[in-house]
């Protein structure tokens, strides 16, 4: 709790000079109306965007695609062939394509909220929206594994006992494998996405609000640093755009790889 304390202290110290440094409190937005908060509206909006865009793009299903359909097929083909088929294998991958495609598009939209003017809030910086996605991936890959190996125990054996290993080493290996393959995966999925979005958003706020505070401080030296802060903020924005795409990609790819590994018949 020392980190929280120091952040709180710095916020308190900054309060005296009129500058609020961004911290965990930056993600606690006041309700827009009633109990509805900005991230709630954003997450519903993202669903409308994802379903609306993909439906509009796929509606005509023309052999010669329109621009919209081409754009939709670009994403769809990327997830279908680049992620699902590569990771799961051409035999079973089609069962998981709807989920993986939805996941990728959903994350893409919610992540890019962070750099879209006036929205500027990555929904996945609220851990509450990440956990359901990770849990769903967890449930799906375990269910796929149980289905593929015809029974929970057989699946558990597949996931925890590496082929070609026998003897006392299993006493060490089985708990480790169970931990890394069953327990840790949803946690790392959650923390990776959440942490990246959270930290990236704090960075952007820091450079923007800090730059503004420095510029309006009245001191020429501070003002010059403020300009540098703004320029760095722009650079960080581009870096964040890359991170936003990468995190959506990594979350989807790992989910697909977990499924592929769970249903693989041999290691």
Partner 1 sequence: MNTSVVLAAEETHNPLLPETSELILGLIVFVIVVVAVWKFVVPNFEKAYAERTKAIEGGIEAAETKQAEADAKLAELEQRLSEARHEAARIREEAREQGAAIVAEMRGQAQAEADRIVEHGKTQIEAERQQAVTSLRAEVGTLATGLAGRIVGESLEDDVRQSRVVERFLADLESAPGVN
Compute the distance between CA of residue 134 and CA of residue 190 in angstroms, rounded to an integer: 6
Closer residue to partner 1, CB minimum distance, 72 or 260: 72
Closer residue to partner 1, CB minimum distance, 62 or 169: 62
Q: CB–CB of 175/190 below 8 Å?
A: no
Interface residue with partner 1 among 19, 38, 58, 223 (CB under 8 A) is 58
Interface residue with partner 1 among 21, 87, 106, 214 (CB under 8 A) is 106
Q: What minimum distance in Å lies between the beta carbon of 8 and partner 1?
A: 4
Compute the distance between CA of residue 222 and CA of residue 216 in angstroms, rounded to an integer: 9
Q: CB–CB of 196/247 below 8 Å?
A: yes
Which of the ranges 38-46, 157-165, 236-244, 253-261 carries the binding residues for partner 1, by CB under 8 A? 38-46
Calculated CA dihedral for residues 31, 32, 35, 40, nearest 10 degrees? -90
- Per-residue binding string, partner 1, 139-178, x by CB under 8 A, is ----------------------------------------
Which of the ranges 4-12, 141-149, 152-160, 239-247 carries the binding residues for partner 1, by CB under 8 A? 4-12
Closer residue to partner 1, CB minimum distance, 7 or 236: 7
Q: What minimum distance in Å lies between the beta carbon of 2 and partner 1?
A: 9
Closer residue to partner 1, CB minimum distance, 63 or 163: 63
Question: How many residues of this chain bind partner 1 (CB under 8 A)?
Answer: 57
- Per-residue binding string, partner 1, 59-78, x by CB under 8 A, is xxxxx-x---x--xx--x--
Compute the distance between CA of residue 58 and CA of residue 61 in angstroms, rounded to an integer: 5
Interface residue with partner 1 among 141, 155, 198, 207 (CB under 8 A) is 198
Interface residue with partner 1 among 21, 22, 46, 204 (CB under 8 A) is 46
Which of the ranges 99-107, 160-168, 212-220, 248-256 carries the binding residues for partner 1, by CB under 8 A? 99-107
Q: What minimum distance in Å lies between the beta carbon of 102 and partner 1?
A: 4
> How would you write 3-45 as a 3-class SS string?
HHHHHHHHHHHHHHHCCCCCCHHHHCCCCCECCECHHHHHHHH
Q: 202 to 261, contacts with partner 1 by CB under 8 A?
A: none
């Amino acid at each position: 709790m020392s980190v929280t304390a120091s952040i709180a202290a710095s916020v308190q110290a900054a309060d005296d000079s009129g500058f609020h440094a961004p911290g965990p409190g930056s993600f606690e937005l006041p309700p827009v109306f009633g109990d509805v908060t900005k991230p709630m509206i954003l997450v519903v909006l993202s669903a409308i965007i994802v379903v609306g865009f993909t439906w509009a793009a796929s509606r005509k299903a023309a052999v010669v695609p329109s621009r919209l359909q081409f754009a939709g097929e670009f994403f769809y083909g990327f997830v279908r062939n680049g992620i699902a088929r590569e990771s799961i294998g051409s035999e079973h991958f089609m069962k998981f394509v709807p989920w993986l495609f939805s996941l990728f598009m959903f994350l893409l939209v919610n992540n890019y909220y962070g750099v879209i003017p006036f929205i500027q809030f990555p929904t996945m910086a609220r851990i509450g929206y990440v956990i359901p996605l990770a849990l769903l991936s967890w449930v799906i890959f375990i269910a796929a594994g149980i289905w593929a190996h015809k029974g929970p125990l057989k699946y558990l054996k597949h996931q925890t006992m590496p082929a070609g290993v026998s003897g006392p080493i299993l006493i060490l290996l089985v708990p480790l494998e169970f931990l890394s393959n069953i327990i840790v995966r949803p946690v790392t999925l959650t923390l990776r996405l959440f942490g990246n979005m959270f930290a990236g958003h704090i960075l952007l706020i820091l450079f923007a609000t800090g730059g503004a505070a420095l510029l309006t401080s009245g001191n020429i030296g501070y003002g010059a640093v403020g300009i540098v802060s703004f320029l760095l903020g722009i650079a960080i924005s581009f870096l964040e755009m890359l991170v936003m795409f990468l995190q959506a990609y990594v979350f989807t790819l790992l989910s697909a790889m977990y499924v592929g590994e769970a249903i693989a018949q041999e290691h």
